[in-house]
Amino acid sequence: MGDVILTMKGIDKSFPGVHALDHVDLEIRKGEVLALMGENGAGKSTLMKILTGVYSKDSGTITYEGKEVEFKNTREAQDAGVVIVHQELNMLGHLTVAQNLFIGREFKNGIKIDDKKMIEESKKLFDRLNVDIDPTEIMSNLTVGKQQMCEIAKAVSFDAKVIVFDEPSAALTESEIEEMFKIIRDLKKKDIAMVYISHRMDEIKVITDRVTVMRDGTYVGTLITKDCTKEDIINMMVGRVIYEDPKTHSMVPADAPVVLKVENLNAGKMVQNVSFELRKGEILGFSGLMGAGRTETARALFGADPKESGDIYINGKKVDINSPQDAVNAGIGYLSEDRKRYGIVVQKTVAENTTMATMHEFMSGLFINKKKEKEVAQKHVDALATKTPGVDQLVVNLSGGNQQKVVIAKWLTRNSDILIFDEPTRGIDVGAKNEIYKLMNKLAAEGKSIIMISSEMTEILRMSDRIVVMCEGKKTGEIDISEATQENIMNLATREIN
Amino acid sequence: MEKIKQNAFVKKVGFNRIILVAVMLLMYLAFGAMTGGKFFTVSRLMNIFNYVYFLGFLALGVTFVIATGGIDFSIGPVMFCCALVSGYSFYNHGVPMGLALVLCILVGLLFGVWNGYLVAYVKIPPFIVSMASMNMAKGIAAVFTKTQSVSWPQSSEPAGWYRTFVKSGSFPTGIVLFLAVAVICAIILNKTKAGRYILCLGSNSEAVRLSGVDVKKWTMLAYTICGILVGIAAIFYVGAYTTVQPGYGDQYNNEAIACCVMGGTSMAGGIASIAGTVIGTLIISLLQQGILALGFSKDYQFIITGFIVIGAVYADVSARRRKN
């Protein structure tokens, strides 16, 4: 293991309502792969965004190659050799691979862009990394895996000395991951330091040298990967939080009626002939890789995006759902993975958000009965233990977990019987996470039916009664929780691709 | 400073609004001083009021549109179109005055529905829709009147009763009516379902849509309310000045929008204040009359209004950035 190339010390960062990072330390050495572990909301991404200049820190120091630095934007970080490979691909689909690799720093021939040189340079880069991609190919024609390789190639092309991988494997199949590992091992030999963020314990054991664990925005500790067990890491990640016991069998009574039946739902490439049933009081997990079409299925079912065909039955009766309005009237509520964009109106109060879907029940003649509105909102704040100074508080000032509770309150006010939770704990801190789990279990026990889309395997296994697995827009299987394992889910999740 | 901001009264009324009122009073005194007191006469005050009426109704209307995150650049020319079509009908088609006034509001309403439909249901950007409507309004008015200007009846004529909306004897009825409509607008915006949804969808229309709300309907309603208020503005315009000419009205778009943003309505949508719009209208009207009283041409006012729009929007944008 080489010398220390980068040290972050006492990094502190607050957002409205959240203390995201509380004096966090991190140390990266040349030629090593450092795993950065922690549950959703532990602060890994925030820390990496501060490192690469996306966010500015409130306090603390970053020392890079012996000098204190503060990157004001990603460009400055890139120029210094600190780059990040994002989980979401940041590629422009309609451009060629070569154009994407050199975007913003194109080679010029006079005032003309020198496409030939860019293609040549791309070839050299791919040769060096031993990947087989044609630089003249249009980006959107590549598989997700190949696009990820391009992202990595782009990172390397900046003469990177430190590369951060933010969940690079979330959309990759086993063989693609293997290919990526080959590149990473190669980069190690070139003395490049890497930070690897992933939730997949097996990968951590295979590819990383050390593990730094974060929890709740704090630094917990660092272990040598080969000297520790999975359990050691999990214990450090989870800490004081005691999670709901994972289900070993379905909690749904055998005679529970089917409340929702979806038949041959089609909506573009991402939703092809999807059929499934949801029973009363059931938590139906939707598992799959990133881009498997789970969110698209939920949105098509909810009427948020147009569907091409497919029948939807609620309590045995066929319903026409062509807009979210139809879906809400049919008793479905949708909790998006992206709460800020699709779930809440941040500039409005807790009370106003709570009654958003139920305005008609809060009218006294022409006017809104604000007193009743606040009472109902307060009732839900108490019942869900939402942390807010009051129902008049703007939702923007609440933490992710509490914002999620406001969205839940919105659908409870509407009395929706079918709730679609899309990544229910994304961006929610560890303490609040279990509260959301408890709440979901309670809702299910009370007879609500829940569809839960999750990319976290542990969450799927912990919460679901039954699991639907999707891959590339198709449903590839269905597993009862009593038979579910990481392996058989992963097999189904990559079935179409392999 | 912080202490003042935390004061209960200041908090309730709003610190920015107090500043605006102070600016308004200072402006009034300054113009008075610069014109050697000529600015303080009753007739000058009436002139200011005349300007406040029609501009105020335009600004109230466009406040609803801006609250949805949209924009309407057609209000000025549409106002002229309303006044021209109904005035021309009064003289040349024998439409009685009462009906002409209804027609005036109806034309505004139709433009509002048209703009709202295109924005909400056809999903054409508001900027484009209102630019097109602006030219259509000018065109329709010119074709309808055969490019003649129209002079509405004087107070002395039998049909001149409509002018009592503006002034009854020496009493400025207009200010009472304007404030009454402003109060109704404030109630709609803050106390009704329509206002709630208009503000919410201006802040995050996708979240509102996914809550099962008919976002299209409420968006269209905002433009429709705007259209009605533009029709009313037209009545007050002719009530004050009687003569309207086809091909004009553009300058009032900017002024009305300036009134809104100055009063704290955010161009990004979601935040709107009727009280702010009223104060903004008073300031812009004062400015207009002040500049004239000082002997400058109206062109100077265009320049100043331009700067005010940019300044107010800049203040809004930078406040937003600080928050994030």
pLDDT one-digit tens code per residue, A474-484: 999 999 999 99
Which residue type sits at B172? P
* Residue B149 belongs to a domain: yes
Query: What would the mean pLDDT of B228-256 be, rounded to a whole number?
Result: 93
Model pLDDT, residue B141: 95
Which residue type sits at B109? L
The answer to whether B127 and B68 have CB atoms below 8 angstroms apart is: no
Whether the CB of A341 is below 8 Å from some CB of chain B: the reply is: yes
Interatomic CA distance for residues B135 and B80, integer angstroms: 12
* Residue B314 belongs to a domain: no
CA dihedral B125, B126, B127, B129 (to 10 degrees): 90
Measured between CB atoms, which of B210, B270, B271 is closest to A342? B210
Determine the residue of chain A that is closest to B197 in CA distance: A356
Tell me if B210 and A329 make a contact (CB, 8 A cut-off).
no
Which chain A residues are Cβ-neighbours of B69 within 8 angstroms? none
Q: Hey, what domains does chain A have and what are their CATH numbers?
A: 4-238 (3.40.50.300), 258-493 (3.40.50.300)
Model pLDDT, residue A332: 96
* Residue B223 belongs to a domain: yes
Query: What would the mean pLDDT of A94-121 be, rounded to a whole number?
Result: 87
Is B195's pLDDT higher than 80? yes
How many other C-beta atoms lie within 10 A of the C-beta of residue A433?
25
Query: Taken in order B167, B172, B174, B180, is the CA torsion positive or negative?
Result: negative
User: Domain limits at B206?
Assistant: 40-306
Interface of B with A in 146-205 (CB under 8 A): 187, 191-193, 196-197, 199-200, 203-204
The answer to whether B215 and B205 have CB atoms below 8 angstroms apart is: yes
State the nearest Cα–Cα gap between B287 and chain A, in angstroms: 33
CA distances from A165 to A116, A127, A382, A496, B94 (A): 30, 21, 40, 26, 78
Is B199's pLDDT higher than 80? yes
* Residue B273 belongs to a domain: yes
Distance of CA A255 to the CA centre of its chain: 35
Contacts of B170 (CB under 8 A, 6+ apart): none
Which residue type sits at B52? V
- Token pair of A426, please? 């994304």
Model pLDDT, residue A475: 95
Which chain B residues are Cβ-neighbours of A348 within 8 angstroms? 199-200, 203, 270
Interface of B with A in 259-278 (CB under 8 A): 270-271
Determine the residue of chain A that is closest to B320 in CA distance: A347
Measured between CB atoms, which of A302, A342, A359 is closest to B207? A342
For tokens 């200049």, the residue is A53
Better pLDDT: B3 or A165: A165
Interatomic CA distance for residues A135 and A141, integer angstroms: 12
Model pLDDT, residue A174: 77
ipTM of the predicted assembly exceeds 0.90: no
CA dihedral B243, B248, B253, B255 (to 10 degrees): -60
* Residue B217 belongs to a domain: yes
Model pLDDT, residue B106: 97
Is B322's pLDDT higher than 70? no
Highest mean pLDDT among A40-44, A166-170, B157-161: B157-161
Is B101's pLDDT higher than 90? yes
- Given pLDDT bands bounded at 50, 70 and 90, which one contains residue B9? confident
Better pLDDT: B16 or A330: A330
Query: What would the mean pLDDT of B114-138 be, rounded to a whole number?
Result: 96
pTM across the whole model? 0.83
Is B78's pLDDT higher than 90? yes
Tell me if B210 and A410 make a contact (CB, 8 A cut-off).
no
Interatomic CA distance for residues A5 and A25, integer angstroms: 14
Tell me if B213 and A343 make a contact (CB, 8 A cut-off).
no
Interatomic CA distance for residues A197 and A179, integer angstroms: 17
Contacts of B206 (CB under 8 A, 6+ apart): A341, A342
Phi and psi at residue A17, to the nearest 5°: 85, -10
Interatomic CA distance for residues A149 and A211, integer angstroms: 24
Mutation site, B210, B216, B265, interface A, largest A CB count within 10 A? B210
The answer to whether B261 and B150 have CB atoms below 8 angstroms apart is: no
Please report, rounded to a whole number, the percentage of residues in chain A having pLDDT higher than 90. Answer: 52
Is A496's pLDDT higher than 70? no
Chain segment A62-85, per-residue pLDDT in tens: 999 999 999 998 889 988 999 988
Is B8's pLDDT higher than 80? no
The answer to whether B290 and B27 have CB atoms below 8 angstroms apart is: yes
Interface of B with A in 200-219 (CB under 8 A): 200, 203-204, 206-214
Interatomic CA distance for residues B220 and A379, integer angstroms: 34
Which residue type sits at B64? F
Contacts of A73 (CB under 8 A, 6+ apart): A53, A54
Whether the CB of A327 is below 8 Å from some CB of chain B: the reply is: yes
Whether the CB of A165 is below 8 Å from some CB of chain B: the reply is: no
Whether the CB of B229 is below 8 Å from some CB of chain A: the reply is: no
Is A204's pLDDT higher than 60? yes
Which chain B residues are Cβ-neighbours of A396 within 8 angstroms? 323
Tell me if B211 and A342 make a contact (CB, 8 A cut-off).
no
Contacts of A254 (CB under 8 A, 6+ apart): none
Instruction: Out of A260-274, A329-343, A417-431, B256-270, pick the least confident.
Output: A417-431
Contacts of A456 (CB under 8 A, 6+ apart): A40, A199, A425
**What 3-state class would DSSP assign to A457?**
helix
Inter-helix orientation angle B274-293/B250-262, to 10° = 130
Order the strands of the A193-197 sheet from edge to edge. A82-85, A162-166, A193-197, A33-37, A210-215, A218-224
Measured between CB atoms, which of B203, B210, B214 is closest to A348? B203
The answer to whether B307 and B44 have CB atoms below 8 angstroms apart is: no
How many other C-beta atoms lie within 10 A of the C-beta of residue B26?
10
Query: Taken in order B183, B186, B188, B192, is the CA torsion positive or negative?
Result: negative
Which chain A residues are Cβ-neighbours of B208 within 8 angstroms? 345, 356
SS (H, E, C) chain B: CHHHHHCHHHHHHCHHHHHHHHHHHHHHHHHHHHCCCHHHCHHHHHHHHHHHHHHHHHHHHHHHHHHCCCCCCCHHHHHHHHHHHHHHHHHHCCCCHHHHHHHHHHHHHHHHHHHHHHHHCCCCCHHHHHHHHHHHHHHHHHHHHCCCCEECCCCCCHHHHHHHHCCECCECHHHHHHHHHHHHHHHHHHHEHHHHHHHHHHHHHHHHHCCCCCHHHHHHHHHHHHHHHHHHHHHHHHHHHCEECCCCCHHHHHHHHHHHHHCCCCCCCCCCCHHHHHHHHHHHHHHHHHHHHCCCCHHHHHHHHHHHHHHHHHHHHHHHHHHC
Instruction: Mark A483-492 as b/e (b = at least 16 C-beta within 10 Å).
Output: ebeeeebbbb
Cβ-Cβ contacts under 8 Å between A and B: the total is 71
CATH number at residue B257: 1.10.3470
Tell me if A356 and B214 make a contact (CB, 8 A cut-off).
no
CA dihedral A290, A294, A300, A304 (to 10 degrees): -60
Chain segment A161-184, per-residue pLDDT in tens: 999 998 887 777 777 888 889 889
Tell me if A367 and B191 make a contact (CB, 8 A cut-off).
yes
Mutation site, A13, A18, A325, interface B, largest B CB count within 10 A? A325
Q: H or E segment at A196?
A: strand A193-197
Query: DSSP letters along A42-77, please?
Result: SSHHHHHHHHTTSS--SEEEEEETTEEE--SSHHHH
Contacts of A56 (CB under 8 A, 6+ apart): A50, A70, A72
- Token pair of A309, please? 């065909």
Interatomic CA distance for residues B133 and B72, integer angstroms: 9
Paired sense of beta strands A18-29 and A418-422, if any: unpaired
* Number of domains forming the structure of chain B: 1
Please state, rounded to an integer, the average pLDDT across all residues of chain A: 89
Better pLDDT: A458 or B280: B280
Model pLDDT, residue A399: 77
Interatomic CA distance for residues B177 and B174, integer angstroms: 5
**What 3-state class would DSSP assign to A156?**
helix
**C-alpha radius of gyration, chain A, whole number:** 24
The answer to whether A288 and A324 have CB atoms below 8 angstroms apart is: no
Please report, rounded to a whole number, the percentage of residues in chain A having pLDDT higher than 70. Answer: 96
Vertex A166: Cα angle to A160 and A170 (nearest 5): 130
Highest mean pLDDT among A63-67, A215-219, B295-299: A63-67
* Residue B94 belongs to a domain: yes
Model pLDDT, residue A455: 85
- Token pair of B237, please? 């315009």
Is B324's pLDDT higher than 60? no
Model pLDDT, residue B32: 84
Determine the residue of chain B that is closest to A331 in CA distance: B212
State the nearest Cα–Cα gap between B248 and chain A, in angstroms: 38
Instruction: Provide the terminal-to-terminal Cα distance of chain A, rounded to the nearest Å.
Output: 36
Better pLDDT: B80 or A38: B80
Model pLDDT, residue A298: 96
State the nearest Cα–Cα gap between B303 and chain A, in angstroms: 33
Please state, rounded to an integer, the average pLDDT across all residues of chain B: 91
CA dihedral A17, A23, A24, A27 (to 10 degrees): 150
